[in-house]
């Protein structure tokens, strides 16, 4: 089916009066999405894993009754049992509960950070690519400079500043969101700029210019919707990467201070009990692995679906 046919069909679908109200329409949209996803096995496995993950994050207060922070020395370092599904840690806290609360925070920070990165990077890249010329050159050199920070170094600087200013709790999480989002911005900007340069030449842009639309309107209303799919794929994969970075920072002891439940710092604390209770170190690691894998599988599959040229390989 060509693009034009698809557009026409979509238009018809919108014009047609709703059958069975809003719920039915939602169900249809979900059904369509699932049908598309089924085309890629990796995407559907990833989607199922993500649904489970988000479900657990949302339902946390209902699927555990323990407190993630309150210590209970009488029950420390217990193996998994009926009472404590995954056992207890060095302070007698239920590991299953800590994983749930930690995951909730981690996923929320990652989602916010990636959204922040997109909302900075897309306008930056689209405008830079659309205007071109000197503006573009200057804007892109700035991006190159930001990309020059290898690995964790940029985050280390920001996290250190947060520590020196004694920023704690929610404000500390906000700093993480800012740093991770800001570091994602250059990649988004480059990607959207590249797509804009490719789209700019196409006829539909010429057409809207001929009709007399302003530059900004063209950039945002015409070009943006057409470059969105590589960005979605990129953002999905980035979510996994962001989670790895947050975990690495708190593993180093530079992220979230205890006693806040956190997969990275829980893993670091478990290192002292590696010989006596290796399972404690296993669970947070598995949780990180599961989450990152879910995002990577979903992103990979999504790439195959949205870019059929690659899927044929």
Partner 1 sequence: MLAYIIRRVAYLVPVLLVLSIVVFTFVEMLPGNIIDTLVGTEGNNDPEVRKILEKEYGLDQPVYVRYAKWLTRAVQGDFGNSLVTRRPVAVELMAGIPATVYLAVVGISLSMLIAVPLGTIAAVRRNTAIDYTAQVTSLIGISIPEFWFAILCVLFFSLYLGWLPSSGFANPFVDPWASLKFLILPAAAVGFRQAAYTTRLTRSSMLDEMNKEYVDTARSVGLSEGKVIFKYTLRNAMIPTITISGLQLANLLGGTVVLESIFAWPGIGRAIFEAILQRDYPLVQAGVLVLGVIVVVMNLLIDLTYRLLNPRVKFA
Piece of 74-82, 90-98, 107-115, 240-248 that binds partner 1 (CB under 8 A): 240-248
| By CB under 8 A, residue 293 contacts partner 1 | yes
- Distances 111 to 104, 130, 142, 162, 180 between C-alpha atoms, Å: 11, 28, 25, 21, 10
Distance between CA atoms of 301 and 40, rounded to whole angstroms? 6
Residue with tokens 């015409």: 222
| By CB under 8 A, residue 53 contacts partner 1 | no
| By CB under 8 A, residue 225 contacts partner 1 | no
Selection from 6, 49, 113, 93 nearest residue 292 by Cα: 49
Structure tokens at 166: 């004694």
Distance between CA atoms of 31 and 26, rounded to whole angstroms? 8
| By CB under 8 A, residue 311 contacts partner 1 | no
Piece of 5-13, 50-58, 208-216, 242-250 that binds partner 1 (CB under 8 A): 242-250
| By CB under 8 A, residue 150 contacts partner 1 | yes
| By CB under 8 A, residue 242 contacts partner 1 | no
| By CB under 8 A, residue 149 contacts partner 1 | yes
| By CB under 8 A, residue 156 contacts partner 1 | yes
Q: Which of 33, 59, 135, 153 binds partner 1 (CB under 8 A)?
A: 153
Q: Which of 4, 19, 134, 164 binds partner 1 (CB under 8 A)?
A: 164
Min separation Cβ 154 and partner 1, Å: 8
How many residues touch partner 1 under the rule CB under 8 A: the total is 40
Distance between CA atoms of 199 and 241, rounded to whole angstroms? 29
Selection from 71, 122, 64, 63 nearest residue 93 by Cα: 71
Distance between CA atoms of 41 and 47, rounded to whole angstroms? 10
Q: What is the full DSSP assignment across 178-210? A: HHHHHHHHHHHHHHHHHHHHHHHTSHHHHHHHH
Distance between CA atoms of 97 and 103, rounded to whole angstroms? 10
Residue whose CB is less far from partner 1, 205 or 292: 292
| By CB under 8 A, residue 278 contacts partner 1 | yes
| By CB under 8 A, residue 267 contacts partner 1 | yes
Structure tokens at 303: 């790439």
Q: Which of 4, 14, 148, 210 binds partner 1 (CB under 8 A)?
A: 148
Distance between CA atoms of 301 and 48, rounded to whole angstroms? 12
Min separation Cβ 26 and partner 1, Å: 32
Using CB under 8 A as the criterion, which residues of the chain lie in contact with partner 1 when the complex forms? Answer: 141-142, 144-146, 148-154, 156-157, 160-161, 164-165, 240, 244, 247-248, 251-252, 254, 267, 271, 274-275, 278, 281, 285, 288-289, 292-293, 296-297, 300, 313
């Amino acid at each position: 089916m060509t693009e034009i046919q698809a557009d026409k069909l979509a238009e018809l679908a919108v014009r047609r009066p709703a059958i069975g109200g809003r719920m039915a329409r939602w169900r249809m949209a979900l059904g369509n999405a699932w049908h598309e996803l089924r085309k890629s096995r990796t995407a559907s496995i990833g989607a199922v894993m993500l649904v489970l993950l988000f479900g657990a994050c949302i339902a946390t207060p209902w699927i555990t009754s323990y407190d993630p922070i309150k210590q209970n020395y009488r029950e420390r370092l217990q193996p998994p049992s009926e009472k404590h599904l995954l056992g207890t840690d060095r302070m007698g806290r239920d590991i299953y509960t800590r994983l749930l609360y930690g995951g909730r925070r981690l996923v929320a920070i990652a989602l916010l950070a990636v959204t922040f990165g997109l909302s900075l990077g897309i306008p930056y890249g689209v405008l830079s690519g659309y205007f071109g010329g000197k503006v573009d050159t200057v804007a892109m050199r700035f991006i190159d400079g930001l990309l020059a920070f290898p690995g964790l170094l940029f985050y280390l600087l920001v996290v250190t500043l947060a520590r020196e200013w004694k920023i704690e709790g929610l404000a500390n999480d906000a700093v993480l969101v800012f740093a991770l989002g800001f570091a994602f911005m250059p990649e988004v900007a480059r990607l959207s700029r590249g797509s804009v340069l490719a789209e700019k030449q196409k006829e539909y842009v010429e057409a809207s210019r001929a009709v007399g639309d302003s530059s900004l309107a063209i950039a945002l209303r015409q070009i943006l919707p057409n470059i969105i799919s590589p960005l979605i794929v990129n953002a999905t994969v980035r979510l996994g990467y962001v989670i790895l970075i947050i975990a690495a920072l708190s593993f180093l002891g530079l992220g979230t201070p205890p006693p806040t439940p956190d997969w990275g710092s829980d893993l670091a604390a478990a290192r002292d009990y590696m010989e006596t209770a290796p399972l404690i170190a296993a669970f947070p690691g598995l949780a990180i692995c599961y989450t990152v894998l879910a995002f990577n599988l979903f992103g990979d599959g999504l790439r195959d679906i949205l870019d059929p040229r690659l899927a044929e390989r």
